[in-house]
Homo-oligomer: A and B are copies of this chain.
Amino acid sequence: MTSIFTRKLELFAPLSDSDRKLTESVGRNPRFFDAGTVLIHEGDNPEHVWLVMEGAAFRSKTLEDGSRTIFAFLLPGDLCDSHVFILDTMDHTITALSDCAVASVTRAQMIEMMDRPAIARAIWFATLIDEATLREWLVNVGRRNAEERAAHLLCELHLRLASLGLTSDGEFEFPITQAELADTFGISAVHANRVLQSLRRANLVDIKSGSVKIPDVRKLREFCKFNPNYLHLERRSATSSIERTHLGR
């Protein structure tokens, strides 16, 4: 029985038994938060790092005029800011997307992990993928139309969750609001609604009541020209015994 955190790290580097003992201990005794709870606020200087164990969270920034941009989803196994200790303050906010279980990792634990080459390597790998994802999102918002953006995000989430064993075929739990999707795609909530309807009509994806259904993953990927390179995940996937983890509430 391995935790989702260990499982995620093992996608990127093989861990020794003693490595694994450490990564297992880190995720124990999470705290539980309701959807919408702010985990870290812009301007904070947190004394620990959050680790998502169940559910999901997102990074965002809100402008003076009230418009919000979401620029990352944090899924089970994701560290919120592995290196926040280097910068002085958070420049964005992290909020619980769903009800979720989040472990707090102390500075000492982070240092202990970074002292082990395999764990450190896996954490860096994950960090680099986060950055690559950010670049891909910029392409998404800058150069794809709203329907392709939506399709692309869902392809990405599907692949990320599948690599952790959190999908069954083209289906996965992801309790997200249309307004939140709009802030992810850089469009209005009304338009997000119409876009989702259009994708549903084309039988490409169906999002309802917190779960996403993709009837034909290959077709959806073709539709938005999804190239999974940037996730550096394709041939990997969780093969270890799967501890059921929820994204819903």
Contacts and interface: CB of A to CB of B under 8 A. Distances in A.
Contacts of A68: 143
A67 interface: yes
Contacts of A69: 138-139, 142-143
Interface stretch (A124-132, A168-176, A190-198): A124-132
A116 interface: no
Given A141-B186, A142-B141, A135 B225 contact: no
A134 interface: yes
B232 A83 contact: no
B131 A86 contact: no
Interface stretch (A30-38, A56-64, A104-112): A56-64
Nearest to A129: B87
Copies of this subunit: 2
Contact of A135 (B59, B124, B125, B128): B59
Q: Chain A, interface size: which category?
A: 35 or more
B143 A86 contact: no
B91 A135 contact: yes
A43 to B, nearest CB: 8
A44 to B, nearest CB: 12
Contact of A124 (B61, B86, B125, B186): B86
B71 A125 contact: no
A132 B89 CA distance: 12
A156 to B, nearest CB: 13
B138 A138 contact: yes
A186 to B, nearest CB: 3
9 contacts: A59-B135, A63-B143, A71-B135, A71-B138, A71-B139, A86-B125, A86-B128, A87-B125, A91-B132
